[in-house]
Chain A
Amino acid sequence: MPTPTKGARLGGSPAHQRLILANLAQSLFEHGKITTTETKARRLRPYAEKLITKAKRGDLHARREVAKVIRDKDVVYRLFDELAQYWTERPGGYTRITKAGNRKGDNAPMAIIELVTEPVSSNTSNKKTAARKAAKAEAVAALAGETEETPAPAEATDVAVEENVQHADDAPAEEKKDGDK
């Protein structure tokens, strides 16, 4: 069962919040980038990303589910047939929120929420995590090398048999995955 959102609704009532979020999502998919208050942007992100997940599925049912929220057919078409292709490789994180200072009139913290349409970069821009991962892999390889060297001759036959069994298990599982796709 979905957990209800804690705290006050945006705009005061549940109906008003639904309308605000739907309108924000429609504007986001129409323009690709919108400026709003940070609170609304933070509430919009999971909402919009669920719609994008439906758009990636792309079937008629998903299209009707999205059309329940986004009333403009042009925007639904744009989301499904123009934007969805950008996210085929991306496993979530389709939007980006950047803080943009405080608004002049009421000092409300503003944010810019935009669709992430760049292709997923395989070269990790985060050098720290990449270095850490490499170090870990090296450590694991070193440990594996040490353990294998000493008892390898005695257990070589057993390992070979086990590997065969594992391969036998893997093959049907992979076929199933392909079938699902």
Chain B
Amino acid sequence: MAVPKRKMSRSNTRSRRANWKAAVVATVACPQCKADKLPHAVCQTCGTYNGRQVVEV
């Protein structure tokens, strides 16, 4: 079975982990209340979608 020959240096570990990046969540402005919301989903602020009240706030 293949096993590592040497301990991985902190530098190598860190340079690998330096590429773990969080992506910005895409949002759009709600047409009703102008708050940020997920595209194609109910607005969490005013509870409307497509001009219709879907969730009571």
Contact = CB atoms under 8 A, between A and B. Distances in A.
Are A and B subunits of one complex? Answer: yes
Interface of A: 98-101, 112, 114
20 contacts: A98-B41, A98-B42, A98-B49, A98-B54, A99-B38, A99-B40, A99-B41, A99-B42, A100-B41, A100-B42, A100-B54, A100-B55, A101-B38, A101-B41, A101-B42, A101-B44, A112-B42, A112-B54, A112-B55, A114-B54
Interface residues of B, number: 8
Interface of B is mostly: loop
9 nearest A-B residue pairs (beta carbon): A99-B41, A100-B42, A98-B54, A98-B49, A101-B41, A98-B42, A101-B38, A112-B54, A99-B40
A100 B55 CA distance: 9
Contacts of B41: 98-101
Interface of A is mostly: strand
Contacts of B55: 100, 112
A48 B55 CA distance: 21
Nearest to B44: A101
Interface in B19-57: 38, 40-42, 44, 49, 54-55
Contacts of A98: 41-42, 49, 54
Contacts of A114: 54
Contacts of B49: 98
A158 B44 CA distance: 66
A99 B49 CA distance: 9
A112 B49 CA distance: 11
Nearest to B25: A102
Contacts of B38: 99, 101
A100 B38 CA distance: 9
A11 B41 CA distance: 25
